[in-house]
Structure 1
């Protein structure tokens, strides 16, 4: 690979002159600039981003942690963040913690060694070392989707409890009363908040929730297994609130296997509104998170801190919306 010295030798100028042409840091005559640019093209010289970052104490790179890169919800968030980063002149390094809380600190250390200018973090669950690690890095950070109470940093999240209330209220408006819930993993704030919203909605109607909670882990496999358990109940619930769309897709598959029609025999509501929710059979009623706004605000808030335009932490709570499709219908049974 050609070096800056090779370019200087080929152009017949000093290394300093090549540096000024590449970095646009000082005037170089048109003749000198032309020789340098021609040498760069002939040699295929690529400036070292590492060297430039060391000189400027900035890399124009952001790091991002997500729990599971195979989850379409996170993929859609990442796409929005990458687009915003590109528009702002930043690159993004993406790291997946594979839903392992204890892996988070190791990944953060890797990102710190890459000298990222800021961090966007979706935590994988409870890790007592994570707040201290983030504080110790002294790099601006914004949490997305999942708050850490003990960490004073920026946060962008959706009102998960309110979203669950919207889902269950939609089902109760349709006449359903025996409404099961397939939850996400215990200890993950978003999962706990969605379960709490389900409980609150039923309690507000004086409807019991005991025995109607089934554990999942935000994967389609866990939704599939939990739905089989729901369908074995006597009496069977007439509706199910599923804490994310991936699990809801697994639940749809389980219902189909058991010959239970959705929504004729049982109604189903998911959470997230991933793109696949439009194309399930039937299309999935779900609670939509404003993913593009989440992504945009996360990057913008982080750049405010990096560029020194704001010092104090800021928390933004975005409101979800219900997307009614064909997986829910009025209650048609006789027993409650």
Structure 2
């Protein structure tokens, strides 16, 4: 089965079939759908090795993820994969397990010409290294970001989001608010801490040093850091955690101490995982447009691969405060988001 057979049956030129396969955005929807129907009927498989030899493209992109176990990234990856498939690309997933050496190993795929571009969902390499790599290869940063790095980035404003969450707790009457951070070598942790501190400062509320505990993303970490807060002589009345998983761990710790959420201590999270709506109590959180982040990151990478010069590098998407039972007050959303 050859490309000209598909072209003959679809009543188009072989060049049009080639564009549908490699650059579908350059073909009208009507023609594209007609060709795709024939490709499916004939079960046509392009000769990818020959194609790579001619175009010097692998039609594969690499996505580097810090921890595949983190449910937050599943929706981001769905957005990336859907958009990649639309443009005729395959996705190679690299899970670093939060290991910097593994991140370097995956980036070597670029130098080995095994992929056409890369989307980083984690960025622990220093800015100078990333800047050098992005000068040679198409690269997009999603979810995380680094100040001063001239690489296309898609994310929310984590400082503003954390400030919004803290403001909500203050408006509910809380003045003793603790924060369980993520790892402080990650920019997102530093930004969410900064937003928390800004809101407390604006309202002239003090933050005892012990009210800030550094965690490590997961349920167990949220549980352990909450135990430390529960050991304090003066307990916080509310706790803002780095993400929803840590919020769940914190709630478990509070319950194990015979206390109630939010009656004794309010707990809020971040990311709006699906389970946050059905967890008991439902978790107040910040909704990130996860799918859209992945979708836009992949769209930007395709532009870079095709040599398009981007006039804008920073893309900040809108977040949303989702209020549920874990913080008390009026519930505005208890459904999946």
Q: Which TM-score band (shorter chain)?
A: 0.7 to 0.9
Q: Distance in 1 between matches of 2:178 and 2:51?
A: 57
**Distance between the aligned counterparts of 1:238 and 1:151, measured in 2?**
39
Q: How has the CA–CA distance of structure 1 residues 303 and 124 changed in structure 2, closer, same or farther, with 3 Å as cutoff? A: closer
Q: 2: distance between equivalents of 1:112 and 1:94?
A: 17
Match of 2:71 in 1: 72
- CA, structure 1 residues 110+26, in 2 after alignment: closer, same or farther (shift >3 Å)? closer
Q: How has the CA–CA distance of structure 1 residues 228 and 218 changed in structure 2, closer, same or farther, with 3 Å as cutoff?
A: same
Per mean C-alpha deviation after superposition, the further-off stretch among 52-61 and 126-135 is 126-135
Tell me if 1:58 matches 2:49.
no
Q: Which string of whole-angstrom CA distances, capped at 9 and with x for unpartnered residues, describes residues 245-278 of structure 1?
A: 1111211221222222111111011011111211
| Length-normalised TM-score, structure 1 | 0.81
- How far did 1:149 drift? 3.4
2:81 maps to 82
Q: 2:189 aligns with which of 191, 207, 221?
A: 191
Aligned to 1:293: 292
Show the counterpart of 1:181. Answer: 179
Determine the structure 2 residue equivalent to 1:262: 261
Q: Secondary structure at the match of 1:195?
A: helix
Q: Which has the larger radius of gyration?
A: 1
1:20–1:26 CA contact under 8 A, matched in 2: no
Supply the distance in 1 between the matched residues of 2:45 and 2:293 (Cα, whole angstroms): 35
Q: CA RMSD of the aligned region, Å?
A: 2.5
Gaps of 5+ in 1: 1-6, 8-17, 28-36, 331-336
Give distance in 1, aligned partners of 2:58 and 2:5: 19
Contact 2:3 2:46 in 1 (8 A): no
The Cα of 1:135 is off from its aligned counterpart by: 3.2
Residue 225 of structure 2 is matched in structure 1 by 226
Distance change (3 Å), C-alpha of 1:129 and 1:109? farther
Per-residue deviation, residues 104-161 of structure 1 (Å, max 9, x unmatched): 111111354353222111224354674156236x221111122233532101111001
Normalised to the residue count of structure 2, the TM-score between the two structures is 0.81
Distance 2:55 2:225 in 1: 53
Instruction: Return structure 1 stretches of 4+ with deviation > 4 angstroms.
Output: 18-27, 44-48, 126-129
| Contact 2:61-2:118 within 8 A present in 1 as well | yes
Contact 2:284 2:322 in 1 (8 A): yes
Partner of 2:281: helix, strand, or coil?
Answer: coil
Report the equivalent of 1:248. 247
